Amino acid sequence: LELWPAVQEGEIDAGLEKRMGGVLKAVSLGHALRNAAQTKVRTPLAELFVHSPYPVETEWLGMEEFAFLVRDELNIKKITLLADPGTYVKYGVKADFAKLGKRFGKNMKQAARTLAGLAPADVKTLLSKGEISIELDGKKEVITKEEVQILQETAQGYVAGAEGDLTVILDTRLTPELVNEGMAREIVNRIQNFRKDSGFEVSDRIELSCRAPEEVSVVLREFGEHICMETLAEKLGEGERDWQFKTAFKAGEYTIE
């Protein structure tokens, strides 16, 4: 029930707030793209691309502490700054007849053709500024982003999204190595929950033994040290044991005991 403390203007770091604003926007877009691609956050992905015509939007990428936050939050191996996202994503414009029909009447078809034929630079202007000017029947007409449909075509294996001037592109292609690492993360999570459900304290040391198909055994051998470190296990073996605490769960399509 104390009074709020007085604001200390000297403690405000405007640069820090701007960089964190960029981090939050990139993370928000990244999570939305993962959801759209139906890729769980525990499955690592190879690369995230970011683009903005304004350096202030991507300034955080030049500082490792901020880039690390984005990589860690989105489980991304690498982040790359793109000068031009055109290699991965292309945008087009389609007129919204319901919104523009009454306004242009007999010239509606001409307006639709003009909008469909906009150059990439003009589409970029529409996306960034929210409006564009076209010539129709000898007159200049301003078209807003709300009066058209933005069409997006993304290269196979990638998903893209934008918020304001920031474009984020996610490489959703999964290699066997990424799949295995994601499975290892899933196994760690399930063992951590199993520890908790079994009544163990956070600091208690345990011993693990697993029985699973060969596809999972490969992961257990490759990431065994990491699994033990994360779950405070002194040993990770294979095969059935006559122990008090047992469970079974699925990791992907495989059942692990």
DSSP 195-218: HHHTT--TT--EEEEE---HHHHH
What pLDDT is recorded for position 1?
87
What pLDDT is recorded for position 78?
96
Q: Which residues neighbour 151 within 8 Å (Cβ) at sequence distance 6 or greater?
A: 91, 92, 93, 94
What pLDDT is recorded for position 130?
82
What pLDDT is recorded for position 85?
87
What pLDDT is recorded for position 234?
95
Q: What is the DSSP string of 18-87?
A: HHHHHHHHHHHHHHHHHHHHT--TTS-EEEEEEE-SSGGGTGGGGSHHHHHHHHHHHTEEEEEE-S-GGG
Cα distance between residue 111 and residue 84, in whole Å? 28
What pLDDT is recorded for position 53?
84
What pLDDT is recorded for position 135?
85
Cα distance between residue 141 and residue 104, in whole Å? 10
State how far Cα 10 lies from the chain centre: 35
Please report, for residues 76, 231, 233, 247, the alpha-carbon distance to residue 202 in angstroms, rounded to integers and kept in the order given: 28, 9, 12, 19
What pLDDT is recorded for position 151?
85
pTM beyond 0.95: the answer is no
Q: Which residues neighbour 45 within 8 Å (Cβ) at sequence distance 6 or greater?
A: 34, 39, 74, 75, 76, 77, 170, 171, 172, 174, 178
| Burial tier of 12 (Cβ tally within 10 Å: 0-12, 13-18, 19+) | exposed
Q: Are strands 166-171 and 158-163 parallel, antiparallel or unpaired?
A: antiparallel
What pLDDT is recorded for position 95?
87
Cα distance between residue 171 and residue 193, in whole Å? 30
What pLDDT is recorded for position 123?
84
What pLDDT is recorded for position 213?
93
Would the CA dihedral through 181, 186, 189, 194 be positive or negative? negative
Which of 152, 116, 153 shows the shortest CA–CA distance to 134?
A: 116
149 three-class SS: strand
Please report how the helices 108-116 and 97-104 are oriented relative to each other, as an axis angle in degrees rounded to 10.
Answer: 130
Instruction: Phi first, then psi: give them for residue 93, nearest 5 degrees.
Output: -130, 135
Mean pLDDT by 10 residues, the chain (257 residues): 91 93 96 94 96 90 96 97 89 87 85 88 81 85 87 91 89 95 95 94 94 93 95 92 92 90
What pLDDT is recorded for position 168?
95
Q: What's the chain's Rg over C-alpha atoms?
A: 26
What pLDDT is recorded for position 219?
94
What pLDDT is recorded for position 183?
94
Please report, for residues 76, 158, 168, the alpha-carbon distance to residue 174 in angstroms, rounded to integers and kept in the order given: 12, 11, 18
